Amino acid sequence: TNDVLVLDAGDFSMGTLFHMLAREEAYELRTMLASGYDVVGLGSHDFDLKPDGLANMLRTGAEKGMPAVVCSNLVFSDADKRDASLKKAYADGLIRPYVVLERSGLKVGVFALIGRRAAESAPFARPVKFGDPFRTAQTMVNMLRNDEKVDLVICLSYGGLNLDDPQQIKGDDVELAKRVTGINVIVGGHTHTLCPKPQQVRGTLIVQAGAYGAHVGVMDLTVEGGKATLARYDMVAVDAGIAGDP
């Protein structure tokens, strides 16, 4: 049996009554840790309680347990102090630009981005801004490949994927694969696309598993010489057929 990585591209908060106590209890992050998540990215809705709210949630999560939280293209304001608490949380490592994990004898680098269109739907993040996702991605890949010497690079992309036209798939996830060299897998979010099979663009595998925890995408990879090839992929419905944890 090989090791498993459990990942999410963002938007883990908001939408249920749990978020009413997100700052005080970090219920979503604690539940994700209990469910086995290793790394989660940030989505636009994770900023809905403003930078202070997200900072408080992360502080609580750090005390009570949470997965690694990653975002690589945060840009903080020097003049506007409304993001000071989140800037401090970042400096303290509660949000990281990337993480390196070891699984099955492999070094796996994971970084995360908020895409261009997604950034436009995050008004409550102000004064936090988001750097160019494509330039940031190439910087992250170069760092992970050259400095960290990873075997596999995964991007958690809160960018988007549109499969309406099977002849021409679109979205920031696709642009990322086209413009950036060295990403093996893009795990996407934002558009809540149920991607029944991985899309392959310039050797990069792109996947997305819908929304609300209704499905889990299970991907088996064979990794050799810095290249990842798809061994198997299943889209598993989370329904009454799966016994709940009492």
User: pLDDT tens digit string along 118-172?
Assistant: 888 899 999 999 999 999 999 999 999 999 999 999 999 999 999 999 889 999 9
Q: List, in order, residues 6 or more apart from 14 with CB less than 8 Å away.
A: 45, 46, 48
Q: 209 with 163: CB under 8 angstroms?
A: no
Beta bridge partners of 206: 186, 199
Q: What is the mean pLDDT of residues 178-185?
A: 97
- Per-residue pLDDT, 161: 96
CA 216 – CA 90 distance, rounded (Å) = 29
Average pLDDT for the chain: 95
Give the rounded distance of the alpha carbon of 85 from its chain centre: 22
Mean pLDDT computed over 81-97: 97
- Residue 117, pLDDT score: 87
Residue 18 corresponds to which amino acid? F
Is the pLDDT assigned to residue 225 strictly greater than 70?
Answer: yes
In this prediction the pTM is 0.96
* pLDDT mean over 96-115: 96
Task: Order across the sheet with 98-103: list the strands.
Answer: 98-103, 106-114, 152-158, 185-188, 204-207, 199-201
Percent of the chain with pLDDT over 90: 88
Question: Which residue(s) pair with 130 in the sheet?
Answer: 74
Full DSSP string of 78-105: SS-GGGHHHHHHHHTTSSBSEEEEEETT
Q: Pick from 37, 34, 56, 45: which is nearest to 10 by CA?
A: 45
Query: How many Cα atoms sit within 13 Å of 148 on the Cβ side?
Result: 23
Report the relative pairing of strands 185-188 and 204-207 from DSSP bridges. Answer: parallel
Residue 1's pLDDT is what? 61
Q: Residue 83: which of 113, 127, 124 has the closest Cα?
A: 127
Helices and strands counted in the chain (H then E): 7, 13
Measured CA distances, 99 to 24, 67, 85, 126, 240 (Å): 26, 11, 22, 25, 34
What is the dihedral angle through the alpha carbons of 3, 134, 88, 146, rounded to the nearest 10 degrees?
60
Mean per-residue pLDDT, 47-75: 97
- Nearest of 220, 173, 167 to residue 192 by alpha carbon: 173
Contact 44, 77 (CB under 8 A): no
Q: What is the pLDDT of residues 35-60, one digit of tens each?
A: 999 999 999 999 999 999 999 999 99
Say how far apart CA 109 and CA 112 lie, in whole Å: 10
Question: What count of other Cβ atoms lies within 10 Å of the Cβ of residue 152?
Answer: 21
